[in-house]
Amino acid sequence: MSREINIALAQINVMVGAVEDNVDRIIEFAERARTELDCDLMVCSELVLTGYPPEDLLLRPGFHDRIEQQLQRLCEAVQDIDLYLGYPKRIGNKLFNMGAMIQGGEITHEYAKMDLPNYGVFDEKRYFTAGNKPCLVEYKDAVLGLTVCEDIWHEGPVEKAVAAGADVILNINGSPYHANKISERCDVVCERAKSVATPVLYVNQVGGQDELVFDGASFACDAGGEVIHQMASFEEALSKVTVTVDSKGIQLTGSEMVAELDYHASVYQALVCGVGDYVRKNGFSGVVIGLSGGIDSALTTTIAVDALGPDNVDVIMMPFRYTSDISKQDAYAEAEALGIQYHVVSIEPMYDAFVKQLAPLFEGREADTTEENIQARCRGLTLMAYSNKTGRMVLTTGNKSEMSVGYATLYGDMVGGYNAIKDVPKVLVYELARYRNTISPVIPERVITREPSAELKPDQIDSDSLPPYEILDPILELYVEQDCAPRDIVAQGFDAKYVSQVIRMVDRNEYKRRQAAPGVRITKRAFGRDRRYPITSGYRPKIDW
């Protein structure tokens, strides 16, 4: 005779710190899991009550009082379906990243996360104490092993649970996205399941939180390490996995198998998700973007429209004497294609007024990048004035290549509350633009094919100041993301002249990056959480060929 356990996997878009709202969402999903899917148990994500990562909110006593109150409310409200979910819990003077089983409106089991990540974007040892023992739940005719996120990435916690008698591993997660992370994660989890011959149900948070994007993509794999259930990426979802217990042991049956997005689609959806959630969760009415006719602002605008809808995106073209007719035409064409509000504000009068007022200070000095930066700052001032007046947040448009080498103007084109493409290298910007045009042709082809230019002086192109992006981007990846020494970068075939130039530019522009708007993280090492360098530093890499 067989016995079935219907388990709902709930990937919910929660908001850090909004404990009451998060509990409301859990209650809503639990009711759906019970009535629509006829499930016995619903599994949510890591720290779902608080959202992940709560950071230094965890240091506030009042925050924990609220968690305890809302946890009690959750128990009282959900009694007809069981829950496994995560929250932080104080015990004495220690804090644990806890997973708990709630049955019949009562907490019956609690498991403290054993493996606390403390690398990259993770900083859990700052807050939490590690657990040291497995937690098993006898559930109907199966034994469930409770684990949390990082526990499944390293040998130890899962093996202990299986050795203690677990038939199925429940793994709840706050696992942020970077390019190729979904397949990487799946490979690790499936290999763990295969090595212990035990099925795994993996549930991940979904949604944007500051720089981080959580992709969801929850799944289940059987004891042989085969994925039998796959949920969607970058959207809230609820689905059912059935655990069958019979004389043959434990079998899993999935209810859906959503195809994995390809590389460009995945990165693009991460950017859309990150922008949309940042704007909405911070209470802005929409965004405004300086649409220049160039590729960066074109892609940023398209992402914003896909994230927020055309009614919530305004653009301003801010021409100057060096702005080409092509740029004006292409900016207008994109705004028309996207159906967004398009404004034109010349910065010529502002620039002339600034230069006139500054003339006594500049007397006897030749024109240089100062005058170029004044143009950019006139544009920044215009965007911020519009933002103040309308409540629409400025999206800045600098890509990762530019942010790396400081090819941007403080208080000019760096002005803004958020940056959709901050972690997107320039070459990938072009690839994403082409990808988006396969869905609908909204970015003019000429924007993609023409030579990139800041248009701050006559006949200016980016390669006047920078190596070609096809050379710059891989050097940056090696130096910024992989910490390669200059000699090792040259050894990979790059011109020593370019390597020396790029490294010097990266190192001397930390002060700019520290003042830049936050932006969506899509690589393994983004500026901000991942890469923490001092602004004031006497260290320079040794450049000796």
CA dist 399 and 527 (Å) reads 11
Give the DSSP H/E element, type plus range, for residue 98: strand 94-103
Beta-carbon contacts of residue 209 (< 8 Å; ≥ 6 apart): 15, 16, 51, 52, 53, 277
Catalytic residue from among 39, 44, 135, 149: 149
**Angle (CA) 175 181 185, round 5°:** 70
Catalytic residue from among 46, 372, 455, 477: 46
Residue 105: other Cβ atoms inside 10 A: 15
Comparing CA positions, the residue from 221, 164, 172 lying closest to residue 197 is: 221
Whether the CB-CB separation of 230 and 258 falls below 8 Å is answered with yes
Residue pointed to by tokens 């899509």: 522
Cα torsion 508, 514, 516, 520: sign: positive
Comparing CA positions, the residue from 302, 296, 460 lying closest to residue 375 is: 460
Catalytic residue from among 39, 44, 89, 113: 113
Cα distance from N-terminal residue to C-terminal residue, the chain: 73
Helix 496-508 and helix 469-476: axis angle, to 10°? 60
CA dist 371 and 387 (Å) reads 25
CA dist 476 and 246 (Å) reads 55
Whether the CB-CB separation of 390 and 285 falls below 8 Å is answered with yes
Whether the CB-CB separation of 307 and 273 falls below 8 Å is answered with yes
Residue 149 among the catalytic residues: yes
Burial of 412 (0-12, 13-18, 19+ CB in 10 A): buried
Q: Considering only the C-alpha atoms of the chain, give the largest distance between any 2 of them, rounded to a whole number of Å.
A: 95
What DSSP string runs through 274-330?
Answer: HHHHHHHHTT-S-EEEE--SSHHHHHHHHHHHHHH-GGGEEEEE---TT--HHHHHH
Give the DSSP H/E element, type plus range, for residue 475: helix 469-476
Comparing CA positions, the residue from 265, 173, 272 lying closest to residue 213 is: 272
Whether the CB-CB separation of 447 and 293 falls below 8 Å is answered with yes
Residue 46 among the catalytic residues: yes
> For 396-467, where are the alpha helices, taking DSSP H only?
400-405, 426-439, 445-449
Give the DSSP H/E element, type plus range, for residue 472: helix 469-476
Task: Enumerate the active-site residues.
Answer: 46, 113, 149
